[in-house]
Structure formats: structure tokens, C-alpha cells
Chain A
């Protein structure tokens, strides 16, 4: 076996997606290869064509609307594009395996985890019955699931997000594939869990010598894993090469922009995103906010309760940005939902401009919901897919009839689109026709439409790649200066808020563990938990080995 020959090579792959009129090119002339034991990272923002490229390798593109215009895909010396039926099944799963971003969506909820792993062995005729179960047990042990003897008979919903991703990895490596494709495997996970999953992938690769293609939008993940990197933008490869070179001496302008946009990169240091106009006038004051969920186990089971949020208090002044940082389950989103009265609090007070939010009746609440807007994590999910961008942005005006007369809607939509850096002619399109960053801009335009005083951003940039994150944060900072807004910026990613927030609240398991000015939190954190959040950021691979 020649170690240097590439296990997979893709040459001049071009994929279109057909729609009315001209086809849209998703991938244009992409070529790459990966060798055994090597990690290739495909880096790019959503819509850059990175997932489409690897879907073509696995023949997962629906045609139509997909259309493979040209390209050669060779695996282990033989062409595999165009393979169908049995010949395809021999390769998919057995020799090339894939793991996805959202393991819950890919695990069947009605079968136990063990059953689903055994099925892989059985469907490929490798082992069955007791033998398959034993191998499944070994796999679970290998991927670091504690007490595999007990967990093997549990269902996917009984596992945590990180553990589900481990189960997915166990299924992917079950047949010892030559190539593992990981499509954003850690995007949905917290930073500390992300580090564990990346370690696991690295260890497995060291043991089995498989090739790994990692698709990600996260520069830090890319840097910590890659031997070689290809950077994609708008369907083409803009830069390719050895990871160290690409990251330290980027040649293409797009890569340079990406690298400099890193939260602790140079551009971020010099940019002035923090607010300058802090008047000290309090907009929102929250006191002892508490949310208790009651969970009953079974019909006559004892009722258990757990505190999602416990005694959270803070203040937001006019023109100020408050960052709330915490991992999933820390209660930070519950705080946001309660502040918008989407969920009712168990106890506590929130005073907005002198009025008690939780005591508001319908009329007062409607006025309040005009002054306070929310930008959600998933801009796609938060927009009705059947409405055009124009209708989406105009919705606040049709809800609150007194903001703007209908005759002016058209012009104002155009103005708002320009304000967030989009074009007025985008108004007649539907949300699915935009990239992730563009959708988040639309969501921001909608939030600004009702001329709010306070905008709550719940993980508003977490799903975007760093350069887009930087753009969106710059946009928010600019709008704050121009319109005098206040923000509550909720995120699990501490570095993002470093140059944006004025004060930071660190939450863990529903409790505020640390609160203070941003410089103190970063420069001199008093709590061990805050330090661990700061340390969980992945370290570049070339620095680790050096």
C-alpha cells in the first residue's frame, strides 16, 4: 500500500442548483485530495459550498435540484462518482463514513443506541447477535461513554449533546473506514465539550490511521485539527495549503480577512466596538429573577423541580452592552425568554423604564414588546419561510399600527436593508435564498423596524463564521452609536464579547458566578469557571506539537 497516494481525490468538481432561470453555482471547479492519516480541513462560511463538495463524495446530493456539471471523484485509485446501488453501499458507511452537526436528528429516537450500532454490523454482514452487541459495547467504551454496559440499552434522548456526538462517532468508525468526513461536528456543542470531541477524533485517527476531512466555519477548530487546509468562499477554493502556512501567512485577501477577524486577532484589538455614550440612565433593572421547572416522573411519580435560573440580578443602562456568557444549560436563554415574557418567571422583578415587566397587562405588554426586540440564534428558524423579506421586515409595523403609515413601508424597508448592508431589491426574495450572515442581517433589520430601545441578542452570531461574526458585531456597535440602543448580548463564546460588551455576566447552572467590567473578566477573572471558559479555546496544532 502506497502511503503517499491520496485515498480520496476530487478534481474540478462543479455543482449547480437549478431554479427558475439560470442555475445557481454552488461549487465551482473544486479540487482537493486527502491522504491516509491526514486531516484536511475545509474552512468556509455557510453557503460557501463546503458541505456540497463532500456530499458529492458520498453521493448525497438530490438531483434535481442538484446538478453535477463536471468533476472526477476517485477513492483509493478507482472512480466513484456515478456509482449507484450495491456498489455505492459497499463504499458508503464501510469505507467512507460521515458524522453530522446535529446527532439527535440522525439518531433514530425509537431505537436504543446499542440497537442502532448493532444494525451497522448486521446490515453490512460483519457480525450479528451477541457478537455485534459486544463490538458495540467496545465501541461505546472506545469513544468514552461511561458505563457502556448500562448506557447501551438507553435511547438517544437520554444522552447529552456531547455524548450523542460520541455515539455518532462510534457508529461512523464501527466498520473502520478509510476516510471519515465530519461536517461541523462540534458546532452545536459547548467549548469544553468541543475540546473533548476534537481530542477523541485526533486519538482515533492516530490509532486507525484513517484520513479525516473536517468541515468547519470555526477558525480555531480548524487551526487545532488541520494538517492541510482549504479555504472556500462562494463555491471556489480561494486558498489551499499546509495549515501553518495558511494561518500564519495567508495570501488571499479573503483568508487574511478571516484570520484578522479572530476575536484575539489584530483587527479586533484596534477596532473600537465598545460603547462611548454611557449616560448612566438605567433602562432595565432585573432583580432576583428565578425560574423553576417542575418535572413529574410518571403518572404518580414524585414531582421534582429544578431551578433553571436562580436569583439573577443585573442592570442595563442606556447605550450599554451587557454580555451574558455561559454554556448550554446555564439558564442564559431562559433569562432572555422571561424578559420578553415568552416564559413566565417563578419569582423576581424586571423594571423597564420604571414599569414592572412581569405585571404588565396586554396593552402595556404590547407597548413593551415594541421597545424591546430580540434577535434569535437561528435567523432561518425565526422567520416565516413563506413570507418575503419585505413582509418579514414590515411585520412590526402591521403589529403596531401607529409606527409607520402603510404608504411609507416600501421606502422604509429599503432604508433598513441598506442600513444593515443589504440591497433594497432583496426585499422580494424569501429567507431560504440568503446565506446565514445575510439572514442574520435581515433579522436585525426586523428588530430595528420598531425603533426599539433595548435589543436582546440570543446567540445571535454563534452560527456564523468569524469574519461574518465580526461584521455583524461591527454593525451592532455602529447601530448602537447611531441610534442609542442598549444590548443584552447572550453567548457561549467568551472571546466574541471581549471587544463588544461593556460589562459581562458569567452564568453557570442558573446562577451568576461572576459579574464585572469586561476588562476585569478577561484580565483578572476571580472564578475558576471563568478561567476554564477562557482556556477552552482550541490551540493551533502546529503550536501544540512544537
Chain B
């Protein structure tokens, strides 16, 4: 088991990129997820320039147009909503707000929660306690109520929305990170680094944070969907994105009344949320395996001996 394997050393950047790509190819699901996310990213960035106008174009004749017909042009392939706007175009345009807000909220809460968690876990000073109690307060307060109060006082805007969404998610990252740090700081290699004279900052950044990161990424991937839905419920209450701006969550809410007659109005944006979250999840689990030298064999070519 401990025999040295003859893995080709990939120290040059080109070789490393090739190894990386080879490992991605071996995990079919992760590859599909990566392709989906790349397409989504391109569509989100370039789409609004090309078909942006169509997303707001009303068409009374196409009201609640069913999907899978090309009679009104390819933009109407996924059907049209209650005001006759093409769903495909709205998905592409809505992606920018949806993904932008969710990404900003998730990354902010992960960074802030992660850093606070590292501090709370590693330090034994008074502020470690203060951080934890603050997290408890946020957690014990209904997050939607908190969002309502903040947005009511600050006024609805995209940046305020991101702040509120990030704030309510911070305790999750904080607590997870702290729990991981408490375990990691007792590990022998942390003692070894300490005995070599490493500063606390170096120990935390070099030895502890990289080990805790995969867990945080997995939570972030799952959290992505939660944030999209939380944002849509705030928008539904009129405290989130204001019309004519819209998001996938708002599109789902929009079709709620027509579920029996025109299911596609809610279905397509719902599917988009699902696929995005699923892809992020698959990719984060691939990244977790990839980051662990002892698990990496799962993504490598396993040639059996001839017999």
C-alpha cells in the first residue's frame, strides 16, 4: 500500500493542466456539469446582448404559448409566459441577475463565515466567544423576518439584497469551519509547524484552511439553490428585485397561479435552478476528491495487471 507509485511528476503548468483535464474526463458526471456551467456562463454573459430585447417583448397572441413548437420562431421553443414573452429569452436574461445575486451572496457568506470560523476555532481569546454568540443570535432569528426588517429599513436594491442574503447564511459556514478547525488544530502536523516557529497566520492559511475548504465548497454548492429560492421569496414580497428586473425565482413565482393550465411557466426556470445547483454539486464533489492526494486515484486510470 505504501509502495511508491511511479506517478509522472507534473510540475510544469502545461502538464498540470493536462492531468487536471484527464481527471475531469474520467468523471463523466463532473465533465457534463462543467460543460453545462460553461455554456450557462457564456449564455449569461453574451445572451442579453443578442436577445435582450425579446425578453421584455409582450405578445398577446403568444400568451401562455405551450412549449416544443417552432411556429413562432426558436425563441418560443420553451413556450411563453402569461404576457406572451418567450421563456427561453427570459431565462437567458434572468440568469444574469439570478446567478449574479446568488454567486455574490454565497461567496460573501462563505468568505466572511469561513474567516470568522477560522478565527473562532483557532483563537482562544474573548473575540472567539463573541463571534460564536453573534452567530447564535443570527441563527435563532427567523432569517426571512430579519431580511424583511433590513430591506424595509434600507430599501430594496440589489446590493442590499445580497447583504441580507449573505448575512443570514454566514452562521452555517462559520459553525462548520469552526468545527473543522477544532479538529484540525489538534493534528500532529499543526504541532509540527508550531514547533518549527510558524506564525499563527501561516498555520491557519497553510495548514488548516486548505483542509477545511472542500467542506465549505460542498456546502456552498448546496446553498446556491437555497439562496436563489430565498431571493425569489423576498422578490415575491416586493422586497427583492423590482420589476421590470426579474430573476429565475421570480419567474417560478410568476407561474405559480397557472400550474394546472400552463405548467411550463414555472417548470423551465425551476429546471434551470435545479440543473445549476446539481452541476455545482457534482463539480464540488469532484474538486474535493481531486484536492485530496489520497483520494485522487479515484479519478485516475486504473490499469489492472494482466492475468
Assess whether A436 is in contact with B2, with CB atoms less than 8 Å apart.
Answer: yes
Contact partner of A21 (CB less than 8 A), chosen from B188, B194, B301, is: B301
> What's the least CB distance linking B189 to chain A, in Å?
5
Taking CB atoms and an 8 Å cut-off, the chain B residues in 1-37 that contact chain A are 1-9, 11
Taking CB atoms and an 8 Å cut-off, the chain A residues in 17-61 that contact chain B are 17-26, 46-47, 52
Q: Which of B9, B189, B193, B307 has the largest number of chain A CB atoms within 10 A?
A: B189
Closest A residue by C-beta to B198: A399
Q: Does B261 count as interface, using CB distance less than 8 angstroms? A: no
Q: Which of B94-102, B104-112, B160-168, B291-299 has 4 or more CB atoms under 8 Å from chain A? A: B291-299
> What's the least CB distance linking B285 to chain A, in Å?
17
A67 touching B11 in the complex, CB below 8 Å, given contacts A373-B196, A382-B189: no
Residues of chain B with a CB closer than 8 A to A432's CB: 2, 293-294
> What's the least CB distance linking B200 to chain A, in Å?
10
Assess whether B303 is in contact with A386, with CB atoms less than 8 Å apart.
Answer: no
> What's the least CB distance linking A220 to chain B, in Å?
24
Assess whether A21 is in contact with B3, with CB atoms less than 8 Å apart.
Answer: no
> What's the least CB distance linking B17 to chain A, in Å?
16
A430 touching B304 in the complex, CB below 8 Å, given contacts A52-B1, A382-B192, A395-B193: no
Q: Does A352 count as interface, using CB distance less than 8 angstroms? A: no
Q: Does A459 count as interface, using CB distance less than 8 angstroms? A: no
Q: Is the interface of B mostly helix, strand, loop or mixed?
A: loop
A342 touching B2 in the complex, CB below 8 Å, given contacts A23-B303, A385-B293: no
CA distance A65 to B199 in the complex (A): 38
Q: Does B49 count as interface, using CB distance less than 8 angstroms? A: no
Q: Which of A99-107, A362-370, A494-502 has 4 or more CB atoms under 8 Å from chain B? A: A362-370
Assess whether A385 is in contact with B304, with CB atoms less than 8 Å apart.
Answer: no
Contact partner of A22 (CB less than 8 A), chosen from B6, B189, B211, is: B6
Q: Mark A1-24, 1 if CB is under 8 A from B, else 0.
A: 000000000000010111111111
Q: Does A374 count as interface, using CB distance less than 8 angstroms? A: yes
Number of A positions contacting B (CB below 8 A): 58
Q: Which of A340, A386, A430 has the largest number of chain B CB atoms within 10 A?
A: A386
Closest A residue by C-beta to B194: A342
A69 touching B307 in the complex, CB below 8 Å, given contacts A25-B3, A374-B192: yes
Closest B residue by C-beta to A431: B293
CA distance A165 to B188 in the complex (A): 24
Residues of chain B with a CB closer than 8 A to A234's CB: 3
CA distance A220 to B207 in the complex (A): 39
Assess whether B2 is in contact with A47, with CB atoms less than 8 Å apart.
Answer: yes
Assess whether B305 is in contact with A16, with CB atoms less than 8 Å apart.
Answer: yes
Assess whether B293 is in contact with A386, with CB atoms less than 8 Å apart.
Answer: yes
Residues of chain B with a CB closer than 8 A to A399's CB: 193, 196-199, 202
Assess whether B197 is in contact with A366, with CB atoms less than 8 Å apart.
Answer: yes
Closest B residue by C-beta to A367: B197
> What's the least CB distance linking A391 to chain B, in Å?
9
Assess whether B3 is in contact with A26, with CB atoms less than 8 Å apart.
Answer: yes
Assess whether A395 is in contact with B7, with CB atoms less than 8 Å apart.
Answer: no
Assess whether A434 is in contact with B294, with CB atoms less than 8 Å apart.
Answer: no
> What's the least CB distance linking B61 to chain A, in Å?
59
Taking CB atoms and an 8 Å cut-off, the chain A residues in 365-384 that contact chain B are 365-370, 373-374, 376, 378, 381-384
Q: Does A185 count as interface, using CB distance less than 8 angstroms? A: no
A382 touching B304 in the complex, CB below 8 Å, given contacts A24-B5, A433-B4: no
Assess whether B304 is in contact with A21, with CB atoms less than 8 Å apart.
Answer: no
Closest B residue by C-beta to A380: B188
Assess whether A67 is in contact with B191, with CB atoms less than 8 Å apart.
Answer: no
Assess whether A429 is in contact with B307, with CB atoms less than 8 Å apart.
Answer: no
Assess whether A18 is in contact with B3, with CB atoms less than 8 Å apart.
Answer: no
CA distance A46 to B3 in the complex (A): 10
A67 touching B197 in the complex, CB below 8 Å, given contacts A19-B7, A47-B3, A384-B207: no
CA distance A110 to B13 in the complex (A): 49
Assess whether A382 is in contact with B3, with CB atoms less than 8 Å apart.
Answer: no
Q: Does A64 count as interface, using CB distance less than 8 angstroms? A: yes
Residues of chain B with a CB closer than 8 A to A26's CB: 1, 3
A381 touching B305 in the complex, CB below 8 Å, given contacts A20-B7, A386-B292, A434-B2: no
A-B contact pairs, 14 of them (CB 8 A): A17-B1, A19-B297, A19-B302, A24-B3, A64-B302, A70-B307, A342-B195, A369-B195, A369-B197, A382-B188, A399-B196, A399-B197, A430-B293, A433-B4
By Cβ-Cβ distance, the 8 closest A-B pairs, closest first, are A369-B197, A20-B300, A47-B2, A381-B188, A18-B302, A428-B9, A430-B293, A382-B192
User: A234-B3, A382-B191 known; 10 other A-B pairs, CB under 8 Å?
Assistant: A18-B302, A19-B7, A20-B297, A20-B302, A25-B3, A64-B297, A386-B211, A395-B198, A430-B293, A433-B5
